[in-house]
Each structure stands twice: as structure tokens, then as C-alpha cells.
Structure 1
Amino acid sequence: MMAFTNNNSSPWIQPESTHPQTGLVINNTLTKSKVPFIPRNGNNVSWYGCGPTVYDASHLGHARNYVTFDIIRRIMEDYLNYDVNMVMNITDIDDKIILRARQALLLSQYRQKATTLTQQIVDDVSLAFRGFVVSKLKEPINTENDWAAVVEKTGNGTDPKRVESDEKFPMNYKAASSTFAAISLAREQIASGKVSQAEAESLINAAKDVLELWLDGQYGAEVTDRQIFRDLAAYWEKDFFADMDALNVRRPNVLTRVSEFVPEIVRFVERIIDNGYAYEQDGSVYFDIDAFDGKNGNFYAKLEPKLKGNLKLQAEGEGALVAKTANKHNPADFALWKKSKPGEPRWDSPWGEGRPGWHIECSVMASEILGSNIDLHTGGIDLTFPHHDNEIAQSEACLGCSQWINYFMHAGHFHVGGMKMSKSLKNFTTIKEALTKHSARQLRILFLLSKWDSRLDYLPGTMDGPLAMEKTFDNFFSNTNALLRDFRLRQQESDGQRHFLEAELELQAALVDTKAQVHNALLDSFDTPKAMKALYEIVTRTNTYLQRGRASIDPQIVEMVGLYVTKIFRSFGLVIDGVGSRIGWGSGSADGGSEGVADRESILLPVATVLSDFRDAVRDIALSGGDKKALLELCDRVRDQDLPDLGIVIGDHGDGRALVKFVNPEEVRREREARQAEEEAKRAKKEASIRAAEEKRLAKLAAGKLAPEDMFRTPEMRELYSEWRENGIPTKDKAGEELAKSKVKKLEKLWAAQEKLHSEYLKSQDHYLQYSNIAARALRRVVKPQLQAEVAKRETVAIKYAKWDSGKAGVSTAVPIIETRAKVEN
């Protein structure tokens, strides 16, 4: 056996096996390096994955974790042929679940009683608000009037020091601010008599986060029914797996729940106490880090030795409901069993009624199912310390083994705008929300293009690359399937010429090289970005080959590429399990779609309807003597709209013949809508630019309306000057003193600029007058006799305005004449 040490000098023993190995190496968090992956039992892999704490909707950060390890699992099972036994837990006993269940129940009960907006409700929310500001924002506040000082002190919640020291500060400030505004509005509503249930509901909704905490503090201890906590967990567990199914994540082989393993947890804790590594204190049991670390070859914090003693992280791992004044031997000691307080679920134990600690659950469930030595353990990078380090310590303390887990893999963070996506920070996008914007395949491609253990930043434009790559593969699959369908209809025909020539041999060699690149990338700690790059390059090269035209290509080499890319995509989970064609995503392809076997009528009827409508329209054009243009427009509509909506695309091929492709109609619609939105945005931008230019032009003309000889003679200017030249440039100030030469020069420049503007203004008025006269003459030739008088009258008015006030000519002439013409034409 080979032994290694990490930077804490704790040993890691490389497993040995006589079974042939795949050559896979993985980045092992235990060694902080890539090491050969050697399962302890042939090709059987025991795998424990940390599952969710089910108290709220799953978000994109969860998707990154579970889709990432689903990709790795599929590569191991489908590509490397490992026999994987994956166990995953559901945390259904936890401080977060207890708090959420109690708060949801209490808020629901409070809502039911709030049939009108009363002063009592406002007072309750006000009291909750002040308590929230003190406890969460750490700001003293006695009355609502003190809130203004808090706003000023914190820079309206943007104080960099506060944000840096408390990542939850912006979220809590937002909750407090919305509550304060709601209270102020509610007081006004009561004063004006608007006190319906709608007003009460509005106040409660705005103050939800603040009011929940206050209600829990007041009445949380009265919640005693254990089923309340279980129901909440069951609801969100079901929601979690609905999201996983939508993302095409395989279910674990074995699913465990904490609530189902409480007796086993009690026995596990008893063994740790018996081995001298834990102690009971006031009905709770704590792991004794000092007794364990460095004794009998034991090491604490094998994964993150630098974080050992980080009390802040340890406290976060203990949960919000643990007593801060617990009498522990060492402040870093963590709870294996928690004494239940009023308002918490409870189970019997030798130490009294209580509940399991968070860390102990995974140790027990993993060991019960997979034994005392497990090949692989996975989870998010934020779980390394203290959760996974505590798991290792308590498991090795109980089982007496030196290496409970052989390989630890941690998925990188998913960041949004530079911050980790988190439920506790409320900066998350739920999986369901994400799937309204992007498909599960597109999100999976995003994760494939990032190394599984690296941080992934989700920024504007992040999805551009995955979307472009998907489109390239999509076009390749649809072209390939269409080509092969056509080829199979004629494959027994031969022109007596050899077609597998130099170009085909080169593409075949490139495919062999691609296979080697992909294989080596996947063996190198599942380097999917490198594998995707190789697949993209071979597909791009094949697309170039296809451009030679149908008569100059051999479909057999294209089929070879298509089959290989599809095989790897199946291993990546880009194809739905058990669904799909020989080549492609498995949706809308030649050999079947993702909807399973459908009856003949449901498949053919939409296409038959399009053909029937097309036939009727062609017949109408022929009978009415329609021209060729109408017929071509009809053909374009069928090609560009009717058939694509059914997932059928007719493409023009190099030899002039049409090529039929099957595509995903939803994606076609999305692309069309995206193009329309882009065109609309361009049109709106162009119109805005034209409006801005016109407004600028009109403003410039308005500025030029004043003649330069009058610009310094306005009432305002007469307060500054007393004498002027003939052209209107001032020569003396108000006191009769000669103006300085420098001052006169500045005035002359202003005068010259105004002269230019005024000249342009006069030209514009001449243009309007010319247009007016031309329009009037043109109208006299087309208007009906009964409107001649009105046109003549309006023309006379226009000329009158042009003579006495040219500034009104354009408006007074053009508009009425155009209106009159419209009446005539109608």
C-alpha cells in the first residue's frame, strides 16, 4: 500500500487492487492533488453523496452540485464501466427545517386571524421591526423615528464595511427597509379608514421576514407536533426530486433519511462515547476534539487543517438553535446529539429526549449502507469544513479505522455577481425559474464547460457559449440524420465510383485522434471542458466536410462521427435515459423522439394539416390567376413558419435539392422569438435615435429663431448693457462704461454662432413654405369638389401665417393639408 501525507502530515493510504484499472486519476481533497482512483473491490465503487437539507426550493447552486456529480457518475458507469452503488441522504431533521416549519405555521395562523387591518397588527409589526434591527443589523433603535439615523449611518444599507463584515447585511437591511415602509403606509391607511383584509395582507407580506422571527420568538416553543416538521421536509423533498428529474439527474441507488435512522444514530454515538471520544453534557453529547486529535494515529480536520479551530465556521455548522452557552470542554467541540428544547422534535435516547446533530447523520447512514471503508464521498466545496471533517473524525472514532473515506471530491462554488448563491443570502435563482429561460441540456452544457472542482461565475453573457455550442451540435445532428435518411433510401445504388477517398480518410484519422483526446481528458480527473472542446472541433471539421455537397461526400464517415459524439453525450447525460435515436440528442430525430411511442394519427395529423392548407392555398392561387410571386411567398411560409413549428426544417443543400431535418420545435420557436425580440430592439433603438436626432434638430432650430441683432436686446440683456452696435452687439455696460476688448470678442463669437443658427432656421421655414405650396397644388388635382373650399381656405391661412409669422408656416400648413388629403382618400 502506498502512503501519502497532506500538508497537515495526516496520512492518506492509496488503496490496492489486483483488478485491472482504467487509468482514472481524480483530484482528491484528502491529498489536495490528483491520485490514481483504485476502488477497493474490483470495479465496484461505493459512493456516498451529501444530499439536500429540504426546507426550501432548490436553486442553481444545487443544480451545479448535483448535475456535476451526475455527469461524473455517468462517465464512471456508462463510459468507464464501473459498477457504482451510490447512496444519498435527505436531511429531514435540522435547525433550518425546524425554524422554517415553525415560522410557516405561526405566520399562517397569524394571517388567518388578520381579517382587517388593526392597530394591534401594526403594533406587532412595529415591535418585530425594532427587534429585527437590533438583532440582525446590530443597531440600537427605540422607536420607528430612529430608523432615519440607521439609514444615514449605513449609507442606505450600502456601507462597505458593514457589507464586508456581514454578508447577510444587505439582505437584512432590505427586509427592515421594506417593513418600515409598510408600517408607515399602514398607519396612513388606518387614519384614512382603509382597513380591509387586503391592507392587512399587504402589511404582513411586506414584513414577512421580520414578522416570522418575532412570531417564532413569541410562540415557537408552543409548536409540539413532530409531524409539522416532517410534512415540511416531505414537501420540499418531493420538490427537489422534481427538479432533479427535470435536470435529468439519475436517482441514487439508495436514498436515506435522517428520521429513519435515529436508533442507529443513538448506537453510533454510544460507541464514540465508549471509545473515549465524546461526552454527555446537560442532555447533549459532544465530540471531544482534544481527546481524538493526535491520539492513536488520529487526525482532526484532514480535509482543511488550516481551518481547525475556526470557531465561526464551527458555530455555523452547529446550527441556529444550539445554545451559545453550552458547557463544552473545548469551544470547537461539536454536537453529536442535541437536547431538544421546547418547540423542537424529540426522540428518546440514553441522555434524554433530543435529536441528532447535523454531522453525525452522514457518518451513520453512509457506514450502515456502505461499511467502514468507502471508496468515494462527494459534496459541495462549502461542506469541507466543518461538516466533512467532522464526519471523518466521528466515523473513525466510532469504527476504529484509520481511513473511513478513500477519495473526497468537492464541487466548486456557483457564484452570482461575485457572491456564492445561497438560500440564506436569498440571492438565488430557483431551478424552476432557470428552466423557464434555458433548457436542462443548456444548463448541463454550461457545467460541462467548467471543471467540476472550479468556481463557476454566472454573469451576463455566461450562457452565450453554451447556447452557441448547442446550436453547432444541433445543426450537425439534424444535418447528419437528414443525410443518412436520404442515403439509406438509395444506399443500394452505385455509380461505380469510389467515394471514401483522401478527405474521408483524413476525417477518419481526425476522429481517431478525437477519441484519444476525449478518453485522456476524462481519465484526467473528468476534464469535461477539454473533452467538449475536442468534440466541438471534430463536429466543426465534419460540418466543413458536409459543405462539399451531397454528391462529393460519403455519409458513412459522417455517421461514424455522429455515432461517437452521441455515445459520449449519452455518457454526459445530454440524452434522456432510454430515449432517442442512434445519432443526436434523442429528441425529434429520425429514429424517434423523447415523447416515446405515439399513435400514427397524432404524429401525422399536424403535418397533414399543413399540407392540406398548402394544397388549398395553391389551388386558390391557380384558380384566381395568381402570379408566381404569390406562390413563392406561400412556399416560404410553409418552409419558414408552418413546418418549423412542427419540428421540421427544409434546408437547401449544395446540389440544389432540399434536405429535410427534424429539430426541436420549442427551440425553433425560442430562436424565432429571440430574433424577433432582437429585431424589435434594433427597430426601437433606431426610432429612438431618429427621435433624438429630430429633437436635437428642433431644439437647434428653436434656438435659432431669435435673430442675432436681437439676442443682446432682450429684457434680461438690457439689465447688463446700455449701448449696442447696429448689428446688436453691446459696446457699453449698464453703467455706460466701454466693454473690454476681450469681452467684446466673446460677444462677437456668440453673435456669429447665433447668426449661423438663425440662417439655418430661416432656410427651414422656406422649406416648409415650399412644401406647403407644393402640397396644396397637388391636392387641388385630386380632392373632391366639396372639399376644394376647405383646402383653399387652409392654403390661405397657411400663406397668411407664412407672411406674418413664418415660424408657424410648417405646422399650420403641413398638418391641415395632410389631414384633408386623408379625408379625400378615405
Structure 2
Amino acid sequence: MMSSQSKSAQWAQPESTHPQTGLKVFNTLTNSKAGVPFVPREGNRVSWYGCGPTVYDASHMGHAFNYVSSDIVRRIMEDYLGYDLTMVMNITDIDDKIILRTRHRHLLAQYRAKADALTEQLVADASAALYAYANESFGDLVAARIGSQVASDRDWRAFVAAVDEGRDKAFVASSEKAVMQFDAASAAFRAVGAACLSLADGERSRAAAEALVDGAKDVLAPWLDAQFKESVTDQRLFRDLAAYWEQDFMADMDALNVRRPHVLTRVTEFVDEIVRFVQRIIDNGYAYEAGGSVYFDVEAYDGENGHVYGKLSPQSKDSARLLAEGEGSLAAKNADKHNDRDFALWKNSRPGEPSWPSPWGPGRPGWHIECSVMASEILGQHIDVHTGGVDLKFPHHDNEMAQSEACFDNHQWVNYFLHTGHQHIEGRKMSKSLKNFVTIKDALKLYSARQLRTLFLLTRWSEPLNFSDKTMEEAVSIERTLTSFFANVAALLRDSRRGQQEADAGRQTNGPELELLAALGDAQDQVHCALLDSFDTSSAMRAIQDIVARTTAYLQRGRGTIDPQPVEAVAQYVTKIMRAFGMADDSAARAIGWGSGGGDGGQGAVGREATLLPVATALSDFRDGVRELALAGGDKKALLALCDRLRDQVLPELGIVIDDHGDGRALVKVADPEEIRRARELHEAKEAATRLKKLKEAQLAEEKRRATLEKSKVPPQDMFRSPMCDLYSAWDERGVPTKDKAGEDLSKNSARRLAKEYDAQKKLHDKYLQSLAQS
């Protein structure tokens, strides 16, 4: 049950007689940094709705941070704290961005298919598209700098010169999309120029035509859409695009080890429910029809029957920019709309847009209504947890709450709003518009999913994350430390137990072992408190690092003196937490490390052969090399080189790491070959960067030396006469200026400065003369 709700924006703490875990969470609804007690509505059951992606393009690192961070929170709740979750996530498969992207791709593909030869008309089309794009994208800036619209190549050149090749600060600051738009227009201009040269050379091939279309695609697509959008009538095109990018998104999530939601919903599958939901809001007096569209009446809702609009971000609810962004780029101006703050629940579809039947005419759902309907259809009229990125607070999530509470006539549709923080790339907020953008697939080419998750664990889910070389270096280092720890523990435990059962049985636990167990207890307390404090994984990871470091130090005592029991206890606990964080496989309860750690995966002899044959082949090749050396009377140096090659090149490719120890014995560890390859490539890249840095420093030093040499050749009496003779009109007997160009005496400060420069040049020139005399 829930305590009584006051008729204000005051958040009501849920109540329950069920035993609680002590978890506190940062709840955006309370507008407080302090965590509030987390209390599910129904015992141990938690209903959770997560805002899914709008699928029209490749997923990026912002998506990764949002969904992996939410996955970490979910896993802690499910696997560590023991809540029974029901998680729903939506896929927005109809939206203004999807409509525009579909039309652009379809019309551009049609246009390209018809371009079977390069013609003057193609060049004219691309030029017209460029000028239209430039004037639409930054028309005011164009007018301010060249005094007119872009209407010719000369105008475009003048504009480019005026903004200093895109580095003009006012230009960049004029719009978040300015740089991206400028790059698109510049690419089109270069493509047009290349096409003109091709025509002049008589080159009219299809390849030349396609090169022009491809180079100018970003300006051609909106130009074609403006003319022919009404011709796109096949609704399957929109669904096909969304389905492609949905599959791509889910593949990225699988690669990042993000658990699938229990229920995955798509907007296009809930249109009938959306229509009924909108009608109920109208019936309750909080929405109205206007020109075939339906709008939420903010003024009628805000303050009526205790309802409050803009709970999450009250300071933003009058922002014209955010309101416009929430309505989408295809939003039509409607003279019958009551208020600028009113937002669309149902949009009247225009030609070139998908549509569904409704009591108000053919149309499509508004953006915000979809989440309200899909969440409520699956989870009911009250939801425990709602997650999403912080950029969705207003208007999306505030509008979700308003229309849901207007429909159900309640005052707390969601009890806990958990918003993940912004992501920054090298200190700047990630933005496609500023080319400050990394796709998940590109990130996974450089780092493993576990290394990326380590980065996210080092930052609170609710705080901004900086994705940079420096932060990733820290994450990679921590992940490798843990990997090495697991491998060392497994190898040393195996080695210590081999043939030493009697010694192990007789060993007594003493001071170092008791200290290690005490440290483990402290780490467990610290991790537990951190996770109850709104899933503070950064503090939990520090505690894990500390106990790993303590255990690693204990292992340095030597294999003959360690007690495997406390070491195994630490490793099992660290594995348990890593599994709860989604870092380790969901394997056997007592397994240690990242993987499942045993068995052949049910592959039988075929699996064993696939695993063992490459190793056996490598060892056979090594044996052949040793035999050849022995038969040929080879020296020790050649034999050691063979051993080093086996250790450094051959076995790492097979996932086997051999660490030489000072006692002459080696420690054998098994690792992921891909991780070994990445580590080697990263090491080689760092060495290459160091060599390049030294080379550049040497080049700069050489350039400085040559510049100093050239300067030293100038006699001091000549340094102020040429080529700066027009700066002065009189000099003393040494050649130091005494009067400026107008014949006025130089100031005392200027005279002293010039005299110092003369003295320095004299010393430099004297050294040069001495070097000549000595050579």
C-alpha cells in the first residue's frame, strides 16, 4: 500500500509490511541527492519499465552507458539483493526520425538507381541541393557574412572563407548541428567540383554519377524529400528500417552482455491500445482534438485535482526549445492548438507518413504516449521503477507521467525514476552533431565488453561519465588486474594442492591467514553498504580492488607457504560480485573467474580435439625445433630463443600465458586469446606512440638547432637594420636603434630591451664565429 498522496508535487514514500533490504536509491522525483528507501509496492516483486531506443541508426556509447548501467542496477537487484523483477522495455519503431530517415534513404536510392550516367542535370541538382541545404541550415550566418543567400559556387566559397574553414567560434556556437551541417555541405561542394572536372574531361560514366550522388547524399536527401516525400506510401518501408536497426541494437546489447527484458514491446503493436488510452484522457477532460490531432491540455491538467505538471524538471517546463524537440521535426503548426505547452498525443498523418485509423482521422501516436500505454498495459496503473537517460527527463518523462496520471486519475504513476547520467567524450558531452560520437561496434573493436563495463562500474550510474583514453586506460588496467588475479589464484591453488594433501591437512591457520580473512570480511561489509547506497559500484569496486591487492600480496609469500582456503574464499567472493555486476558468466556456484571454468561444453571428443589439437601442434613444433638444434649442436642462446618464442608468440595466440618466476619455475595461466591480443596491440601502440613522440621531439630539437644556427649567422650590428629597417630611423655605433620610424627617441624601456637583444645576439654570433675558427 502507499501513504496518502497530498495534492502537490510532494513524492509519497511507498509503504509495505514486507521485510526490506535497506536499499536506498537516488530518485529524481524527490529532487534530492540523498537516497530514499526503496520499497516495492507488492512484497518482493518489482515492476520496472525502461525507455528503449528509437531505432533509426547505429547504437552509440551513450546507449551503452545507459543500458549497461541499467543492467548493472538490475543485476544487483536480482542477483545480489534478491528482488523478483518484471522488466519491460519498449522499441520506438515509429517516430519523426524514423520517417525522415526512411524517406531520405528510399528517395536517394531511387535517384541513385536512375543516375546511369554523369550529366549536367545531375550536377545542377546537386548544386541546387547544396544551396538549399546551406541556406536552410545556417541562412542567418550566410547573410551576416556574405550579405545574401548561397546561390552560386562563388557564394559558397565566400561563406567558407568567412567562417575560416569551419573554425569560426561564432559559427560553431550558433547551433549544435552547425559543424555537422557544414561538413555535409562541404562534402557536397567537393563532389560537385569533382563532377564538373569529370564533365570537362568527357567522363560521363555511371561510376562518376554515383560518386557525385554519394558525395552529395547528405544535401540531396532533404532536397529530394522536400519535392517527393508524398510519393513514399508503402508503410512497410518504415517498418523495415526500424526492424533492421532494432536487430542491430539487440545484437549490440548481447555483445555488451546486457540481459534481455522480460517483455519487449513495439509501438506499432500497441496502436489500438494507444487510441483507447488517448480517448480516456479526452473523456477525463485533459485533452482535446484539433485538426485531426489530439493534444494534451497542460493548463487544464496542471493544478486540477492535485495534478502537477513538470515534476521531474519544473525549471524546464516552459522551455520553447525542449517543447519543440519533444514534438519532433515533423510537427505541424496548428492554429487550433490551445497553448504552446500542449503536446501531441495523436498526430494527424500527412502525405508521406505512416498512418492508422482513429476516431480523429488517420494518424499516428505521439512520442510520449507510447511509453505510458505500453508500460501500463503490461505493468498496470502503478509502476515501481522507471529508467532512462537524464536527457529524457523533460519533456518525455514529465509528459509520460502527466498523461498517465490524467488517464488513471492518480498522483504517482511511478514511484522511483532512475535517470542515468550524461556521457562525455574526452570531456565534452557526446553529440552526433559535433562529431563527438563513438558507435558501440567501434568501441568494441578497441575494448572488450568487460572492459567497457568496468569503466561504467567506476562511475555511479546517475552521474556523468567521461569516455576517454585516460579513463579507459584505468578501466583496462583494473580489468586486467582482476583477470590476472583469477588466473594466478586458479594456477597457484592447483599447484599448491597437487600432491600436497597431507601438507595441506596439517597446515594451521595463523596470523597472515586470519588477517586475510578479516580483510575479506571488511571488504564484504564495504561492498554491501556501497550497493545499498543507491548501487554505488564505484565504492564497491574500490573495496574489491583493495581485497584483491591484499590477497595478491599474500600470494607473494610463495607457493609452499600459502593456505589455499582463505585465498579461495576471497576469489569466490570476488567472482560472486563480478557475476552480480554482469562481468562474469552465470556459471557454477563455486567457480572462480570470468568463465564457466570447466567441461567441454557438451562437445565430447570433437570439442576436446578442437581445444587440445592447436596446443599439441604448437608443442610438437617446439619439440621439432629443439631436436633440430640438439642434432645440429646448437648453442644455449638459440635454445632459449625457441623457448621465448613459444612463451611470447605461440602460446598466447592459443590463450595460454606462461609467467616466469624468480625461483626458476613458471606459472601457467589460461586466458582469452582475444584479450591477450588486445593487450599486446595496446602495448605495441603505446610503444609506437612513445617512439613517435621521441621522433617528434628530436625533429623539433633539430629544427630549433637549425633556426638557432641561422640566427647566429647574423652579425649583431645588422640585426635591427634588415629586414626591419623601416621600423627605425637612427642607430648608435653598435647598430642598436635610437629613434623610431618617425624620428622620435625610443623610450627607455624599448632602448633597454633592444640593447639586451643586441647583447644576446652578439654572444650567439661570437659562438658561431668560434665554431668556424675551430672547424
Same fold, judged at TM 0.5 (above): yes
Counterpart position of 1:639: 647
Task: Give the alignment partner of residue 676 of structure 1, picking from 667, 684, 691.
Answer: 684
User: In 2, are the aligned partners of 1:563 and 1:583 still within 8 Å (CA)?
Assistant: yes
Q: Say whether 1:622 aligns with 2:623.
A: no
Q: 1:677 to 1:293 in 2, by over 3 A?
A: closer
Which structure: larger Rg?
1
Look up the equivalent residue of 2:29 and give its one-letter code: L
The match for 1:365 is 374
Number of the residue aligned with 1:482: 491
Deviation at 1:445, TM superposition (A): 0.5
2:712, 2:761 within 8 Å by CA — same for their partners in 1? no
Q: Distance in 2 between matches of 1:611 and 1:581?
A: 32
User: What's the counterpart of residue 816 of structure 1?
Assistant: none
Q: Give the % identical residues.
A: 60
Amino acid of the structure 1 residue aligned with 2:476: L
8 Å contact kept, 1:580–1:594: no
Q: CA deviation at 1:678?
A: 3.2
Return the alpha-carbon distance in structure 1 between the equivalents of residues 505 and 150 of structure 2. Answer: 96
Q: 1:11 maps to what in 2?
A: 10
Whole-angstrom distance in 2 between the partners of 1:322 and 1:278: 18
1:75 and 2:86 are equivalent in the alignment: no
| Matches of 2:79 and 2:760, distance apart in 1 | 82
Tell me which residue corresponds to 1:90.
Answer: 91
Give runs of aligned pairs for residues 467-616 of structure 1, distance below 5 A.
Answer: 467-494=476-503, 497-578=506-587, 582-586=591-595, 591=598, 599-616=607-624
Q: Residues 755, 369 of structure 1: CA spacing in aligned structure 2 closer, same or farther, 3 A cutoff? A: closer
Change (3 A) 1:275 1:507: same
Equivalent residue number for residue 293 of structure 2: 284
CA contact (8 A) 2:3 2:15 kept: no
Work out the CA distance in 2 between the residues paired with 1:593 and 1:471. Answer: 25
- Select the residue among 324, 330, 337 that pairs with 1:328: 337
Among candidates 274, 279, 288, match of residue 270 of structure 1 = 279
The corresponding residue for 2:739 is none
* Residue 381 of structure 2 is aligned to residue 382 of structure 1: no
Residue matched to 1:430: 439
Partner deviation per Cα, 1:87-138 (whole Å, 9 max, x = no partner): 0001111111111001100000111111222111111111111211221112
Structure 2 vs 1, CA of residues 495 and 571 (structure 1 numbering), >3 Å: closer, same or farther? closer
Work out whether residues 549 and 654 of structure 1, in 8 Å CA contact, stay in contact via their aligned partners in 2: no
Question: Any idea what SS the aligned residue of 1:667 has?
Answer: helix
Which structure exhibits the higher relative contact order, with contacts defined as CA atoms closer than 8 Å and separated by 6 or more residues? Answer: 2
Mapping for residues 144-543 of structure 1, pairs under 5 Å: 144=152, 145-423=154-432, 426-494=435-503, 497-543=506-552
CA distance in 1, matches of 2:758, 2:466: 58
2:38: which partner in 1?
37
Superposition deviation, residue 468 in structure 1 = 1.2
Number of equivalent positions: 740
Structure 1 residue 758: Cα displacement = 5.0
**Shift of residue 182 of structure 1?**
2.5
Structure 2 partner of 1:133: 134
- Corresponding residue number in structure 2 for 1:806: none
Q: Is the 8 A contact 1:359 1:390 kept in 2?
A: yes
Query: Could you tell me which amino acid in structure 1 is paired with residue 188 of structure 2?
Result: T
CA shift digits 1:157-200 (9 cap, x unpaired): 34434433421122112222222233233223322323322322
Q: Is the 8 A contact 2:117 2:204 kept in 1?
A: yes
Point out the more displaced range, 510-519 or 399-408.
Answer: 399-408
Q: What are the superposed Cα offsets for residues 660-696 of structure 1, whole Å, 9 maximum, x if unpaired?
A: 1112222222222333333344445555656666777
The equivalent residue for 1:26 is: 25
CA distance in 1, matches of 2:96, 2:227: 18
Is this contact kept in 2: 1:549–1:653, CA < 8 A?
Answer: no
Whole-angstrom distance in 2 between the partners of 1:502 and 1:654: 26
Q: Which secondary structure does the structure 1 equivalent of 2:560 belong to?
A: helix
Structure 1 distance, partners of 2:607, 2:649, is 25
TM-score by length of 1: 0.84
Q: CA deviation at 1:752?
A: 7.6
Q: In the superposition, relative to structure 1, how do residues 331 and 496 fare at CA in structure 2: closer, same or farther (>3 Å)?
A: closer
Aligned residues of 1:580 and 1:593 also touching (Cα < 8 A): no
* CA positional deviation for 1:633: 2.1
Q: Report the secondary structure of 1:409's partner residue.
A: strand
Partner amino acid for 2:768?
A: L
User: Structure 1 stretches of 5 or more lacking a match?
Assistant: 720-728, 731-741, 765-826
Letter in 2 for 1:643: L
Q: Counterpart amino acid of 1:84? A: L
**Separation in 2, partners of 1:747, 1:290:** 78
What's the CA shift for 1:37?
A: 0.7
Deviation (angstroms), 1:705: 10
Seen in structure 2, the aligned counterparts of structure 1 residues 686 and 304 have a Cα distance that, compared at 3 Å, is closer
- Taking a change above 3 Å as real, the CA distance of residues 754 and 522 of structure 1, as seen in their structure-2 partners, is closer
Quote how far apart the aligned CAs of 1:620 are. 1.4
- Are the counterparts in 1 of residues 507 and 563 from structure 2 also a CA contact under 8 Å? no
CA contact (8 A) 1:345 1:355 kept: yes
The alpha-carbon deviation at position 585 of structure 1 amounts to 1.2
The equivalent residue for 1:788 is none
Residues 692-733 of structure 1, C-alpha deviations (whole Å, 9 max, x = no match): 667777888899999x9xx99xxx99x9xxxxxxxxx99xxx
Letter of the 1:760 partner, please give it.
Answer: S
Number of the residue aligned with 1:652: 660
Q: In structure 2, what residue type is equivalent to 1:17?
A: S
Name the SS of the counterpart of 1:15 in structure 2.
Answer: coil
Distance verdict in 2 for CA 1:71–1:593, change over 3 Å: farther
Q: Is the 8 A contact 2:45 2:84 kept in 1?
A: yes
Worse-matched range after superposition: 28-37 or 98-107: 28-37
Deviates more, 1:516-525 or 1:617-626: 617-626
Q: Aligned equivalents of 1:556 and 1:490: distance in 2? A: 16
| Distance of 1:550 and 1:559 partners within structure 2 | 14
Report if aligned partners of 1:4, 1:14 keep a CA contact under 8 Å in 2. Answer: no
8 Å CA contact 2:572–2:590 kept in 1: the answer is no
Which residue number corresponds to residue 110 of structure 1? 111
- Mean Cα deviation higher: 255-264 or 177-186: 177-186
Q: Residues of 1 paired with 2:603 and 2:137: CA distance?
A: 53
**The 10-residue stretch of structure 1 (614-623 or 264-273) with the greater mean CA deviation from structure 2:** 614-623
Could you say what the CA RMSD is over the residues aligned between the two structures, in angstroms?
A: 3.3
- Which residue does 2:743 correspond to in 1? none
* Structure 2 gaps, min length 5: 144-148, 726-733, 736-751
Shift of 1:290: 1.1
- Structure 2 vs 1, CA of residues 491 and 372 (structure 1 numbering), >3 Å: closer, same or farther? farther
Query: Cα offset for 1:337?
Result: 0.6
Q: Secondary structure at the residue paired with 1:600?
A: helix
2:664 & 2:302 partners in 1: Cα distance? 77
Counterpart secondary structure, 1:406: strand
SS of the equivalent of 1:493 reads helix
Instruction: Supply the distance in 1 between the matched residues of 2:557 and 2:164 (Cα, whole angstroms).
Output: 65
Contact conserved, 1:318 with 1:358, CA < 8 A, in 2? yes
What SS does the aligned partner of 1:138 have? helix
Q: 1:680 to 1:256 in 2, by over 3 A?
A: closer
> Quick check: 1:579–1:593 contact (8 Å CA) kept in 2?
no
Partner Cα separation in structure 2 for residue 306 and residue 703 of structure 1: 62
Which position in structure 2 is the counterpart of 1:48?
49
Alpha carbons 1:27, 1:409 under 8 Å: kept: yes
Equivalent position of 1:62 in the other structure? 63
Normalized against structure 2, the TM-score is what? 0.89
- Tell me how far apart the structure 2 counterparts of residues 669 and 354 of structure 1 sit (CA, whole Å): 53
- 1:113-124 matches, within 5 Å, as 113-124=114-125
